[in-house]
Structure 1
Amino acid sequence: MRYLSIAVIGCIFILCRQVLDAQQPIPQDTTFNVCRVYRQIKKEFPFAVPSKDIVPKNVKAVRNIIYATLPNTPFGKRYLHLDVFYPKKSGKYPALIMVHGGGWRSGTRSLQVPMAEMIAKKGFVTVSVEYQLSLEAKYPAAVYNIKAAIRWMRAHAKEYHIDPTRIAISGCSSGGQLAMLVGMTNGERKFEGNMGNPQYSSSVQAIIDVDGVVDFLAPGSLNLKREPDSPDVFWLGGSFDQKPEIWKDASSVFWTNKNSVPVLFLNSGFPRFHAGQDELIGMMQRWRIYTEVHRFNVHMHPFWLFYPWVDPTVNYMAKFLDKILKR
């Protein structure tokens, strides 16, 4: 009986340890947020005002929807969420999935919500999406996540007034890099992952890149002196010297082809975020694929988070979507 009790206690201990292990909190980096950026820029840009989460009267918001479940992660069962904003008036609308920035390791989907609401007011369905950041999962997990979210949008198109034949993707900063990679790899099996319903396509019909890198290997982007904890090195699992094939793989410029979709580029005054962009545009022009570029003459990277820049950002995005997606 004594040995049985010891065995039972041992089993209980193992079970408790498994439960504790399964409930480890997901590591978070909260350094990229609107309040912190505002404190950093307000001296140089005293007129800047953070954009607000205000749902327009003609828009319905549905938040915290689970679009995918990962059953076996180091952090237990993992739920990925998104928010949907769509016009209240019945109909089928073109849709835009929106990817937040933060160096692939920080930020949340809430950063995209003010713009999502403003664009939805103009007659689009907008979706702000959560994805796995680098402290939780390295490249290409985020790509798999976002493509799964696009499949979810098509699976739930009727419920949220989405026209499944007219879906675009946008992203800001590292989210722009992801949007470009997701959009330029339409139909590429190696980037699909195994999340979501495979009967639905993850392809998009247009891309909007807001200050996001398109070529990690371009001279203005590649910095061989980066430290191991640099956001791109950390996310890609090693430096360029260590993982050159991964750095090329994650560069959307190398996936651009004659079947690529139209792209809108919105650029800040920092050239390093646009390294390789001219070469990509040159290829697309050769294939007669529509591109559009607008530059904000401001030396602040996350300009889209603040007035007065968020209004023209949204207007450029909506006009481009009108041109490419609206019939």
Structure 2
Amino acid sequence: MMKTSFLLIITVSITNLYSQSKTDFSYTTISEYNKQVKKFPFIKMVSPIKDSLIKEEENIIYFKSKKITLAFDSYQLKSREKKPAILLIHGGGWKSGNKSMLKPLAQNIAKSGYSCFTIEYRLSDEAQYPSSIDDILESLKFIKKNAHKFNIDTLKVGVLGCSSGGQMASLLGAKFPKYFQAIVNLDGVLAFHHPESSEGTLAAKWLGGTYEEKPYVWHEASALSHVDERTSPILFINSQYDRFHAGRDDFINILNKYHIYNKIETIKDSPHTFWLFEPWFEDTLLYITNFLDSIFKSNR
């Protein structure tokens, strides 16, 4: 009887938590594992690491109003030397996911000599474009304002995103090149309305309407619409699914026209969310750190 009562209390508590929150929990590392393990039975979730050389601080509030509170988590290599700052943007179709999903990636990038920040931003159930883009810019403003605390070089900032976060990272890097000196896109589209694109309901929710209803917004929110001679170097890490890099080749053609460094790495025979799992995490990490080092630690 006591066991039954306890389970009932837990069930009610969880139900209340979900009913009181507007957060969409459909995309988490666990839910993605349960989805992908059916096709890739050998995969393993990447776990956070414990390293005494990494200073961690979670839920640092960078914006607060009567309606919303937004925070980020920081991961810094303990060192007196100022480090480049890397902002990490999680995916989830602009409507789900959370900053903690990128903790293992942020920790491991930090080990290579970077100050990493996983950013919370408003999802499409809370606010439509460009609110989440404004959130990321607000977090960067806060980080730079507190550069001494985070031990960063404010002239060396990179932005990294996964899936819809990759789309956002590329848009930020293309639209605001003076803020970001390097871009890393993990399987994020470069153009919403494009022959290679299959974006639909999720994009429409974030963008405030379908392409037929809001063609200007769909165009304006696409990184491909902003790439020019000012755009920073970019690394694309892509899965086997072409639809997740719609507009990439057109984007690269413009970069090549202006002799801007870019690189493509393809993770073969992997799920779209390869960065969350072994055996692909180590290669993904290596591609990222090699690229960042080439931008921030070389005389290239």
Fold match, TM over 0.5? Answer: yes
Q: Which residue of 2 aligns with 1:19?
A: none
1: CA distance, partners of 2:54 / 2:242: 36
| 2:129 equivalent among 139, 147, 150 | 139
**Structure 2 residue 62 is matched with structure 1 residue 67:** yes
Task: Flag the structure with larger Rg.
Answer: 1
Question: After superposition, what is the alpha-carbon deviation per residue over 1:204-239, rounded to whole angstroms, capped at 9, x for unaligned?
Answer: 11100000010111112146xx4xxx2111111111
Q: Which residue of 1 aligns with 2:141?
A: 151
Q: Could you tell me which runs of 5 or more consecutive residues in structure 2 were left unpaired when the two chains were aligned.
A: 1-18
2: CA distance, partners of 1:55 / 1:115: 13
Letter of the structure 1 residue corresponding to residue 238 of structure 2:
N
Q: Which residue of 2 aligns with 1:96?
A: 86
After TM superposition, where is structure 1 displaced by more than 3 Å over at least 4 residues in a row? Answer: none
What is the RMSD of the two structures over their aligned residues, measured on CA atoms? 1.4
| 1:203 equivalent among 163, 179, 184 | 179
Per the normalisation by structure 1, the TM-score is 0.83
Q: Is the 8 A contact 2:198 2:243 kept in 1?
A: no
- Aligned pairs for 1:33-112 (under 5 A) are 33-71=28-66, 76=67, 78-112=68-102
Q: Which residue of 2 aligns with 1:212?
A: 188
SS at match of 1:170: strand
- Aligned pairs for 1:8-23 (under 5 A) are none
| 2:237 equivalent among 266, 281, 286 | 266
Q: Is the 8 A contact 1:265 1:294 kept in 2?
A: yes
1: CA distance, partners of 2:231 / 2:142: 22
Q: Is the 8 A contact 1:94 1:326 kept in 2?
A: no
- Aligned pairs for 1:107-186 (under 5 A) are 107-186=97-176
Per the normalisation by structure 2, the TM-score is 0.90
SS at match of 1:146: helix
Number of equivalenced pairs: 280
Q: Is the 8 A contact 1:100 1:172 kept in 2?
A: yes
Change in Cα spacing, 1:88 to 1:299, as seen in structure 2 (3 Å) is: closer
1: CA distance, partners of 2:227 / 2:267: 25
- Aligned pairs for 1:267-306 (under 5 A) are 267-306=238-277
**Structure 2 residue 300 is matched with structure 1 residue 324:** no
| 2:222 equivalent among 224, 234, 251 | 251
SS at match of 1:64: strand
Q: Could you tell me which runs of 5 or more consecutive residues in structure 1 were left unpaired when the two chains were aligned.
A: 1-23, 188-201
Following superposition, the deviation at residue 56 of structure 1 comes to: 2.0
SS at match of 1:203: coil
